[in-house]
A and B are shown apart, each in its own frame.
Chain A
């Protein structure tokens, strides 16, 4: 039991700015008024990208049956991409009554025999946590039988939000994998990328530049990740937390335990990408590296500007209203500004104090920070003469009513908006949205309507 993560401890995060005020779970769910995923989903998001490991969900079918093969996290792993496979014990009434441990042990054996994964992650869920299956003991037993890491992940959905689940995923990796193996070689510029999941290949937009600078990605949690890599993560010189507040607990603990410093960066938009690469170089502290980082980012910015030139014409004088959540309230705003689009308003309804500050910084004095976007956005579109609404599907009706272009920013994206290259993808999508007449066409009145 000693290895089980302490949830109370995880809820108090000294490295998290807004956690100083609140000592409860980030979003204590209210019956009948809750949206958003559970802790299991958070653990799934943070660990499933390890494509060389099998991810076995010990629970009834809802947990995995509705959620496998949903996230486009790319990998260069040459073997079968286990991220895009679904493994579940799919427990039955019989297991609920008599316990599912024996079935779980057999399921692990089946996976090892048929798929030869580099590790097996075993996820507990509400039902199997409640019936008291001892997955720690089963994993230990399986580890001894199969001689590969078998990692219990204690993030049953009902312990909290996605955010907490991601932390619990990080805890599992910290307890069972990090520090269990030594890298073949080390360099002075070894880093870990934490919280980068390589969704749609976002990470590959900037890792070639890091490579060019001689910065080596020793391991990731967990985009294009390898089990063998994360086991050596304790030898990195720097932890780079990418757009993910939830894993700050992990980077703080790695700092305390192994003395590895950490920084937090974002790779959305031109300015943030350049700033991110520079921050890594500066944190590694090598003068020559910093100088080369300046050169490389400057070169890339020039290259990007040339490629963006045709779009600038399209976007000249265009105004956008942005209605999305969390760090997107400013990171997408920043990317839009890089394209030459004026962001007249952004939603801060779900943003943290830190996010609000950043949003204000990016939008300037005149920018509107919406606290109730559902009510405000239609009026703001009228007052500012905005041309584009970027929001979730629910706001589509506002765009149709106002006859302006709409882009769904909450939809599962299919191509990367990350790094310098991603900005070109975003530009292309927004250009297509702006010139698409569909929003005006569907607003046409039927001949029988007066």
Chain B
């Protein structure tokens, strides 16, 4: 592990990559079937979030706002606005749940949403997600925890073949589906919370819905505490796992920092073998491990000569950097959106909380960038290779179908980065 800088010392962010908790919260609620995320803030907070997610997923995004104005910001403690918003939403559609979450505006004025929630006679989960603390990842994590704390019913017995997956925010819908399938190969019925793999996976529905369509149902969430196994992926999901275990202390917890690369996937497979007493996993898993081994060898030449910058959320960085390092890729710089204990685990020469101006200043230290839409102009200006990953990713289609995880996705990921590296070198030295 190299040098880690947990805090930026600048008085501003230039070309920022930090996204915010309310957005993470909204996205988590969209992983619940027929949910209406209700952002308690100005209408712009919601509008920006809606446009951002719509462009990233190329899907309509269900979300509403309490539309706090300068006047209600002073006169209303949140009660009137929230109650009216719920009335207006439920007058038009019948959600299974309303996902109430705050913003910097309503946290500054100090609304007590817990008290307001009690006045609402409709299924509702509330969570405090100010946007001047944390980021996308923590907003998602806090919301998952709130869903567990406020909905899951305590249990004392276990269903041996049931598992709960708690995925971090940077996992794309198809990746969540692949983890579910992987665990299912060991004989489990798997439920993910939140579950974007059936809501924002880019499927063509029967008609346009005003609510999230797909995702885990509220009934399924209520019944989660009889699962024998809780699998959390990402440091940001550990508090959610702890909250779930509190509902039934008999549950067992498999803690994964991430699921990218050979080592991390081996660890999950080993844990599942130990859980089930099986000798060997399903044949397709065995086969994909061999393919990943081959991909490691095929990609090592290109990756071994390429210095990498990886930009993104902490849990994503941990996985991507580990996977690349296994094939000899040298991550010379990893820039994180926010601080996290995960930063200490990232195999990179230098890890820092920062922005894309920091990346630009240090552009002599890397050849290829793995990062979001905003890194495209950086790559262009500085003549770097580019592999697009993370939020937002506006100019490409199919984000939700990108799989970088486990043995299978790991192979795709290494090949894609190696090809981008070779292409870049060819362009530089034709």
Contact = CB atoms under 8 A, between A and B. Distances in A.
Given A36-B47, A60-B104, A412-B55, A31 B16 contact: no
A396 B108 CA distance: 40
Q: Which of B15, B44, B46, B64 is packed against the most chain A CB atoms within 10 Å?
A: B44
A33 B43 CA distance: 10
A413 to B, nearest CB: 13
A2 B89 CA distance: 41
Interface in B384-428: 392, 394
A157 interface: yes
Contacts of A59: 104
- Could you say which interface size class chain B belongs to? 35 or more
B133 A89 contact: no
Interface stretch (B68-76, B185-193, B250-258): B68-76
A91 B132 contact: yes
A40 B19 CA distance: 18
Contacts of B131: 60-62
Contacts of A87: 12-14
A397 B88 contact: no
A92 B208 contact: no
Given A84-B377, A93-B133, A394-B60, A442 B84 contact: no
Contact of A131 (B19, B65, B108): B108
Interface stretch (A66-74, A220-228, A269-277, A326-334): A66-74
Interface string B49-73: 1111011000010001111111001
A39 B44 contact: yes
Interface in B11-61: 11-20, 22-23, 38, 41-52, 54-55, 60
B88 A32 contact: yes
B116 interface: no
Contacts, number: 195
Interface stretch (A12-20, A103-111, A168-176): A103-111
Q: Which of A34, A67, A114, A394 is packed against the most chain B CB atoms within 10 Å?
A: A34
B141 to A, nearest CB: 17
B129 to A, nearest CB: 10
B207 interface: yes
Contacts of B47: 35-38, 41
21 contacts: A32-B67, A32-B87, A38-B44, A41-B47, A60-B132, A65-B16, A66-B19, A66-B49, A66-B52, A66-B392, A67-B48, A69-B377, A70-B394, A86-B15, A86-B374, A90-B18, A91-B132, A95-B132, A126-B42, A131-B108, A158-B44
Would you list the 8 A-B pairs with minimal beta carbon distance, nearest first? A38-B44, A32-B85, A32-B88, A29-B67, A157-B44, A31-B85, A107-B12, A106-B11
Interface of B: 10-20, 22-23, 38, 41-52, 54-55, 60, 64-70, 73, 81-82, 84-89, 92, 103-105, 108-109, 130-133, 135, 204, 207-208, 373-374, 377, 392, 394
Given A35-B50, A89-B11, A396-B208, 16 more contacts: A37-B47, A38-B42, A38-B45, A66-B19, A66-B20, A86-B374, A92-B133, A104-B11, A110-B10, A131-B108, A156-B70, A158-B42, A158-B73, A394-B60, A397-B207, A412-B55
